[in-house]
Chain A
């Protein structure tokens, strides 16, 4: 019974399953939305990233367009493994000891999204790219919380949300302005909910900030 439950739970919802193979044909407009959101969320990070990382992002965007047009096929598993390995080595060399710094983590995040563009075969892959774009909006707030950045990030969220909407739309009925308008409408309507949650939610301290060792003195009597 537990096994039945587990198989039921792991079964994917019947989206577009035809003859056992899930087919997801991404609308052209959706690809444009996704690439646009990736470009928009990467722009503020560019100055902090090494140049080769930016170049890699541009390269991946170009390849994903070529894949979509059918000029290039999806890279095979060997090529993918090699690329990921090389990129990891490059990142380790680049950041050296600061591998766990915020800069390095954000770099890995951006590269991860860019590389994921090369294997957007299933709907799940596409969704991961979009969800990670939301994440990189958050990453920008680590560096700056100024009003211009906040406004710019609102635009990013609008574009990412439009990308999320466009993959559920039918190819022939994609109209970017309508998608943008409806996304904007939903985002505006959820601002009161955001305000409510923001005010009501209790502030929790950091979950695993590293405590400063010598801050607390040791008191007691010596023998």
Chain B
């Protein structure tokens, strides 16, 4: 209770203090600094040494304790300097499917003589990456964050921290680089044969993917059934291929919301997504009909992106629509 309220307060405070931006320069406004546990250990040792100095009344021991205390005070400044003035921007990778890792490339750059060492970067849920800007003036680090749900994915705040030079102070900042990455529904395989048989009433027929007759081989693609993988070829080490089967099907295929009755919204979208992948790979015309929108049958990459985008953003509300207008064009 207390924890969640504090988290919310903290979140709002950080948002006010460090507003989201595409390009951020670290300075005294957005860097936080505090002695860490190792620093407390350092102070504890200094306290012990001080007691020793007092007891034996040694001037040099006093000098040593005060010297190290001076180092401690200066370290606060040096740790701050190791982040201050750093330019940070980031690029989100291309669209992904739900459950996959979104790749975010963080670009750190420095202008001027000051070098930056041992800077740790991570997003909530990603692994830590250490960046150094010593000989180079720009460093790119890739971070991977799992996108659980479809829609616009935002990785949250980038945590950038350093304990250099002595590990006794920790300077950090959490910055929102205003990144968005489009996440498509997770494709789930379904029976395409059944899909095509629904549309037999139209006149024109064409050959497309089905499960009737062996047609040829093509590169393996996500979501393909493992039963259709050409294992004999894979075993020879020539890579993964999927066996294609042909079936007689209508020219223009409508992917309809009602094609998958008795299913949840996400399950329907996952299956529609799989159908789109298959049909697009087959180079066919297909249209999409969702309860709130309709996309006329067509083909090509632009059409594919449009269809996938509407699947990804279906029924996600106003906020997502707004982001769609202003967000990064994937």
Contact = CB atoms under 8 A, between A and B. Distances in A.
A170 B282 CA distance: 49
Nearest to A206: B55
Interface in B50-102: 51-71, 73-75, 78
A13 interface: yes
Size category of the binding interface on chain B: 35 or more
Contacts of B58: 138, 141-142, 145
A73 interface: no
B279 to A, nearest CB: 41
A186 B164 contact: no
Nearest to B67: A194
B42 interface: yes
A190 B71 contact: yes
B61 A134 contact: no
A193 B70 contact: yes
B166 to A, nearest CB: 5
A165 B51 CA distance: 26
A6 B134 CA distance: 40
Main secondary structure of the interface of A (DSSP, over half): helix
Contacts of A141: 56, 58, 60-61, 64
Nearest to B122: A14
Interface string A187-223: 1011111100110010011111100000000000000
A131 B53 CA distance: 16
B316 interface: no
Contacts of A183: 165
Contact of B67 (A4, A123, A191): A191
Nearest to B65: A138
A168 B39 CA distance: 13
Interface string A54-66: 0000000000000
B165 A131 contact: no
A191 B127 CA distance: 40
B167 interface: yes
B1 to A, nearest CB: 11
A12 B54 CA distance: 32
A139 B37 CA distance: 25
Given A134-B64, A165-B165, A186-B74, 12 more contacts: A1-B2, A4-B2, A138-B53, A153-B64, A183-B165, A186-B71, A190-B70, A192-B70, A193-B70, A194-B66, A194-B67, A197-B66
Interface of A: 1, 4, 12-13, 16, 18, 123-124, 127-128, 131-132, 134-135, 137-139, 141-142, 145, 150, 153, 157, 161, 164-165, 167-170, 172-173, 182-183, 186-187, 189-194, 197-198, 201, 204-209
